[in-house]
Structures are given as C-alpha cells and as structure tokens.
Amino acid sequence: MDQGDRDWWRNGIFYQIYPRSFGDSDGDGVGDLRGIIARLPYLTRLGVDAVWLSPIFPSPMADFGYDISDYTGIDPLFGTMEDFDDLVAAAHDAGLKLILDLVPNHTSDQHPWFTEAKSSRENPKRDWYIWRDPAPDGGVPNNWLSEFGGSAWAYDEASSQYYYHAFLAQQPDLNWRNRDVRQAIYDVMRFWLAKGVDGFRVDVIWHLIKDADFRDNPPNPHYREGRPPHEKILTQYSTDQPEVHAVITEMRHVTEEFDNRVLIGEVYLPLHRLVAYYGNDLSGAQMPFNFALLSTLWSARSVETIIADYEKALPSGAWPNWVLGNHDRPRVASRVGPAQAPVAAMLLLTLRGTPTLYYGDEIGMRQVPIAPDQVRDPFERNVPGIGVGRDGCRTPMQWSAEPNAGFSSARPWLPLAHDFARDNVASLEADGASILNLYKAMIALRRGLPQLVHGSYEPVAAQGDVLLYRRRSAEGVAVVALNFGAQPATITSSAIGFSNEVLLSTLMDRQGEKIEGALDLRANEGVILGPHQED
C-alpha cells in the first residue's frame, strides 16, 4: 500500500491526540473517534502532517487504555471498528497520516492471554508472562519497584508465584523472551498496518526485555525525598537490556513489510543511551522520542547545551526529533510560563528534526489543577501528595466559549480550565496575534522554507538569555534568535552575519522588517530572519 514518500516522517509535523479529551460526539463526556473525525478540518488548518492517537483499544481503563484487553479491537467508549476505518479514510483524504499507540510491554490482567496464564502453572500461556517463585523468606523475588508505587511483584495465591508488573498490578508484563509472544504482537502490528495505519509509537519500548537472572537493581545515590518512590533504585536490570535491540529490529522488519511506515519508540533514557535505539534501513526505530526538553531548566544556555549534546550523540544518518509536551508531563505553557510559550513553540518548529505537538499546546493550554475528589490518574492515587498526577495535562480540548468548551454536550470526564471561555480555538483563531495563529504561521513558514525542514543546524555564540542558531541548506540560510529572558536583548550584526529581514516574530508584528545592523529583541521574543542566499 503506497501512501507517499518513504521519508515523509522526516519532513512532517506530528500531533498527539489524547482521544478521551479531543472531541465527544455522543454526549457521554468522553472523547471518541467520531469526535476526532469532526475535528480533522481544524488539524488541516493548523498544518500538521500526522496524527498520533493514544490507545483506543478495549480496556478496563485501569490506566486509561494503557492496559489493553484486546489488541485488535476498538473500545466501545471510543466507537466501533467502522468508526476507526472511517477515521483512517478521512485522515488520508485530508492528507494526514495516522499513527497508533502500540503497548507491547504489558497487557491488562483481563486480557484472555493472562486469564489463561493465571489458570495454572502448566498452561501453555504461562510463559507469556513473567512468573517467579517467592524469595527464600517467602517475600518478593527481588527489589524491583513499580513505577506506580510499591513492589513490581504481585502474588498469585492460586499458584503460589509472583508475576511482574512494571506499572499497575492490573498491567502484567509480557515475557518478550518468549517467541510466541513476539509473533503474537507482530501479528497485531500487521493487523493494523493492513488497515492502513502509517506506523506506531511504541510505549515504553526500553522496558521490553528484563535481566534473565532477575538481579536486584542497585540503589539510586541521587534520589531526593519528594520524588516518586520508584526512583529510589536504578533500573539497571529491569529496563534497557542489550537484547531489546534485536526485538526492536524485528518490529522494524514488520513495518518494512508495508510501504512507507514509521516506527517511533518511547524512550526515557539519557541521550547517550537513547541514541542506541536508532536504527538504519533495516534495524531499530526511525525515531526514538527525544524528551530532553521536557525536563530541562528553561534557559538559553541549558537548551543550547541539550541541542549540542544531542546533535553530537546522533549516529551517522540518524534523524533528530523534538518534543515539548505529552500525556505524561505537565503542560509546556505551565512549565515555561505563558510569556515564554511562544518562544518554546518557535524553538520546537525551527530545530533540525521532526517536531511533535501535544494537543492544546498550540492554544497555550495550561496545567489544570485537579481537586482531590476529581483525581482519575492511578499514578496520583497510588502516590499522592508529591504532584505526580497526569490528569492536569489531559483535560478536554478547549474549542469554544460554549458550555463544556465545545468539547461535549455533557460534563467532561476531567474538569476544564477556568479560562476556557477566553483561551479556546474559536477566540484565538479570530485574534491575529494569538499563539494559535503564531503556530499556524510558523508551520506555514516551515513548509515553505526548506532550510527549516532539512537544513543543517549551526549554533552561533550568544550571551545571556539569547539562543541563536542558523539553519543552512542549498536554498540559503535562515537565522533563529530566541530571547529566553524577560528583558530586551541586542544581537550585533557580526553575530547575525548578514543583512536580513524578519520573516516572523513570536509577537506577530515585525514581518518584513529589514535588519541591516543589530537586531533588537524584545522581552520574551523570538524571531526568524532570512532567507539569505549565499554566493
């Protein structure tokens, strides 16, 4: 099935949708597939190229879809398989690619595979999961911890063994050393690829293989009180094992059975370990997600260092990617502040590599405070009081000032931001200087300026709160200047290197301005200059 350029993912812009929160078509307060279909015209106006959906498969929703009970179905909460087929067709008709979330590390404890595995030690599916006898003292097999609190081992009284769960006890980990497990998941991939999906984002891909000897993890010498308790130990033996790369290569081979598909890996690891997940034409993931910007200190020098380290660490031929927000981390507008959110947007859309936007970031959605009686996130429920809850970044998309922000005719499953009547798509589309129209302008500029798509990245020395770099291609040079500070800054003409004009300012008011000498940046302003055609 030929759906265009093989390297489309290098040139495109990805947009993550959390399906529960994007558009509700049936009035139950929860988003669904028909709600997404209805909003595809908005995505085409925005200018993105690919849509990535968080899980939509049948699930008891212990972790809101990341606990799958049927890999080849659609949860009725989101609609039907016919709705999904219509979504694929509508997305492709609109020129959009569609990416699904693949969750192969664990299933729901209500998946038929686990029901069989739990039925007896002799069941053929027993080895599809990870079972261990108790320790000599009758306790857990080792010191591995669940990311959602407590031990990662749950005791099954019927069989007198423990099973491993890296997350909730309702999410038992699959045994990826078992060939039958691998083939079953590969068949799942083929099922969806045959339906026309354009690739997968693979959840916690670095977790898939565990240490064969189940050795205790070492303590984390840098653990700080107030951090999630699972961080007390390093995951030396429970994640990022060398054998995982052979598994990812097999996954890549499955996607290569179909034309022009992409394999993206979720990998929360330091850069020097992250880059090992890159592959080539026949191995690895095309894009292991780079989350470095999600947790860095928001300063020009800190971001400059991250970019330099990433560019230096990339293997030959590897394609970079950048992320500023997702369904697990606080909203970027809350992390960096509303004044810096436009600067963050310009950074994301002008760095070398593929950018991924998180729904609502383009309208400046902020983290919504969640009252204790409204918490839905199992992470926050299991580990309360230290701010690990993810509900605040998963609240409904703010479409209009209408009741429930135009998201639903019913009360939404999570509370809305108090300012949705002001900060919503309808009002911001009507405001020429809004962050939404800035995103649209930057995406359009990126599409029309080859330097910003495939040009090289060249850092330029700058001082204080200014981050400065060039994007150079055969078509010429563009300059990006970002002021991370709340005070004006001046960049000398020698730093810029040549005469330019302002192609775009984050304040949306300088387009066409000629820069013959120094460039004056206002507080919290970013500009794109050029293009300059070299001799």
Residue 154 neighbours by CB under 8 Å, 6+ apart: 162, 163, 165, 169, 172
Is 256 among the residues known to form the active site?
A: no
- Pick from 211, 223, 205: which is nearest to 263 by CA? 205
DSSP string computed for 389-446: --GGGSPPP---SSGGGGT-SS--SSPPPTTTTTSSHHHHHT-TTSHHHHHHHHHHHH
**In this structure, are residues 473 and 451 in contact, taking their beta carbons and an 8 Å threshold?**
yes
Which is the catalytic residue, given 257, 259, 419, 516? Answer: 257
- Distance separating alpha carbons of residues 272 and 352, to the nearest angstrom: 19
Please, which contacts does 130-135 make with residues 24 or more away whose CB atoms are closer than 8 Å?
A: 130/163, 130/164, 130/172, 130/173, 130/174, 130/175, 130/210, 131/156, 131/159, 131/161, 131/162, 131/163, 131/164, 132/161, 132/162, 132/163, 132/164, 132/214, 133/160, 133/161, 133/162, 134/160, 134/161, 134/162
Written as one letter, the residue type at 504 is L
Q: Count CA atoms within 13 Å of residue 426 on its CB side.
A: 11
Which is the catalytic residue, given 32, 67, 203, 240? Answer: 203
Query: Which tokens is 200 given?
Result: 């997968």
Is 203 among the residues known to form the active site?
A: yes
Query: 259 to each of 50, 193, 254, how far by Cα in Å?
Result: 16, 10, 11
| Positions marked active-site | 203, 257
